[in-house]
Homo-oligomer: A and B are copies of this chain.
Amino acid sequence: MGSRRMSTQIFPVRLSAAQQDAAYFHSYNHVGIHEEMIKDRIRTEAYRDAIFAHQEAIKDKVVIDVGCGTGILSIFCAAAGARKVYAVDASDIAVQAREVVKANGFSDVITVIVGRVEEIQLEEKADVIISEWMGYMLLYETMLPSVVCARDRWLKPGGLMLPSFATLYMAPITNPDRYGESIDFWRNVYGFDMSAILPLAKQCAFEEPCVEVITAENVISFPILVKRIDCSTVTLEELETVTTTFSVPSIMRAHLHGFALWFNVSFGGDASCLPKSKAASNGTIPLVLSTAPEDPPTHWAQTILYVYEPVELQQDNLISGTFTMSQCKENPRFLNVHIEYR
């Protein structure tokens, strides 16, 4: 029986809500973040493919790109024939996006708006909302509430949400290499016993969720569905607290080292039950962007909640518990994560 409470607050000082918002948007002024996202080909090509797979719904239509960043998704939509794209971002990077749009000859189609999507005024409603809003473990630093607000204010009834569905999964994992590297390491340091450091080392290494790439070999049960989000209907209340109880058998003899979280999003259909990320875009099977351990790694990697004491498991041992993720009251972009397991 163990219990973990993790908070992912990263600011060293207490900030007001306005300061938090400013810090969040300011962080996206740094080009390195956009470079990392654009260089994530799995991510960017999934969006590009989804846009061109839905060309019929986009051509001659009005699109809103929520959190446009450098403007690449808006440009894809313009290239797919959109009549008008409203590219919205509250970060100063949008100023650069405007220059990029101009340099590529899309100024007539794409209107870049530097501002919060909650506060913008448009002259028309949109047929499509596109947004790359997903954070680590789907909802960390999430922009989804802004997307929901844009949808409720500006999407025509029956309009298209891209992505359309998002699904968060978790699974117990084993990771002896990682555990040995940063924990067991202290048992023998140049011939001396430094295991007195172990409690602090575990706290430092595992107090907060770790963003790391694992593989399917690390996963020791079938995945648990934590939350399925229908982007066309999800409400803000639904996102305040996400909780699930689980009870899954270990598929092998192994040490339980923690729990991994990952997600996928699908464009134009519900892929929460699809086993593989790559699905044909023939109109019936939706396109999926997957960040699962069995799929090629993305910049989201997986999010791992490590346990302080590994648990030895035999095959078919039941791993049961409750997982709860709730918005941090002090800063809604952050999450409190709580997991209890037996």
A164-205 at interface with B (beta carbon < 8 Å): 182, 185, 189-190, 192-197, 200-201, 203-205
Question: What is the oligomeric copy number?
Answer: 2
Bound CA–CA A137/B194 (angstroms):
30
Q: How far is the CB of A103 from the nearest CB of chain B, in Å?
A: 5
A213 at the interface (CB under 8 A from B): no
- Please give me the residue from chain B that is nearest to A185 by CB atom: B35
Known: A35-B185, A102-B196, A103-B194. 7 other contacts (CB 8 A): A13-B13, A31-B197, A31-B201, A32-B205, A72-B190, A75-B192, A100-B193
Q: Contact at A189–B31, with CB atoms within 8 Å?
A: no
Most buried by B among A44, A75, A102: A75
Bound CA–CA A72/B191 (angstroms):
11
Interface string of A273-291 (1 = CB under 8 A from B): 0000000000000000000
- Please give me the residue from chain B that is nearest to A189 by CB atom: B38
Bound CA–CA A68/B196 (angstroms):
15
A104 at the interface (CB under 8 A from B): yes
A20-72 at interface with B (beta carbon < 8 Å): 23, 30-32, 34-35, 38-39, 44-45, 48, 70, 72
List chain A positions with a Cβ less than 8 A from chain B: 12-13, 23, 30-32, 34-35, 38-39, 44-45, 48, 70, 72, 75-76, 93, 96, 99-100, 102-104, 182, 185, 189-190, 192-197, 200-201, 203-205
Q: Contact at A103–B35, with CB atoms within 8 Å?
A: no
Q: How far is the CB of A95 from the nearest CB of chain B, in Å?
A: 9
Q: Contact at B192–A104, with CB atoms within 8 Å?
A: yes
Q: Which residues of B contact A93 (CB under 8 A)?
A: 200
